[in-house]
Amino acid sequence: MTAAQRVNVWVRKVPSWAVYILGAMIPVWYFWLAVSGQMGVEPINALERALGLLAMQTLVVVLAVTPLRRWTGISLVSHRRALGLLAFFYVCCHLAVWLLLDVQDPGRAWADIVKRPYITIGMAGFVLLLPLAATSNDRALRKLGPVRWRRVHTLTYVICVLGAVHYVMVQKVWEIEPLVYLALVLALVATRLPRLRRRAAA
Ligand code: HEM
The predicted-structure confidence for 149-185, as pLDDT tens digits, reads as follows: 999 999 999 999 999 999 999 998 999 999 999 999 9
Distance 201 CA to ligand 1 centre (A): 35
At 7 the three-state DSSP class reads helix
Q: Is the CB of 165 under 6 A from ligand 1?
A: no
Rounded distance between C-alpha atoms, residue 132 and residue 149, angstroms = 9
As a whole number of angstroms, the distance between CA 47 and CA 53 comes to 10
Query: CA-CA distance, 48 to 149, in Å (whole number)?
Result: 32
Q: Give the C-alpha distances (Å, rounded to integers) separating 97 from 31, 34, 52, 56, 145.
A: 10, 11, 10, 16, 36
As a whole number of angstroms, the distance between CA 24 and CA 161 comes to 24
Give 49 Cα–ligand 1 centroid separation in angstroms: 6
The whole-angstrom separation of Cα 174 and Cα 200 is 36
Confidence of residue 110 (pLDDT cuts 50, 70, 90): very high
> Is there a contact between 75 and 69 (Cβ–Cβ < 8 Å)?
yes
Protein residue whose Cα sits closest to atom 31 of ligand 1: 122
pLDDT of residue 2: 92
53 alpha carbon to ligand 1 midpoint, in Å? 8
28-74 confidence digits (pLDDT tens): 999 999 999 999 999 999 999 999 999 999 999 999 999 999 999 99
Q: What pLDDT is recorded for position 167?
A: 98
Q: How far is the CA of 6 from the centre of ligand 1 (A)?
A: 37
Answer whether 178 contacts ligand 1 (Cβ < 6 A): no
Residue type, 164: A
Task: Quickly list DSSP for 163-198.
Answer: HHHHHHHHSSS--HHHHHHHHHHHHHHHHHHHHHHH
Domains of the chain, by residue range, sit at 3-201
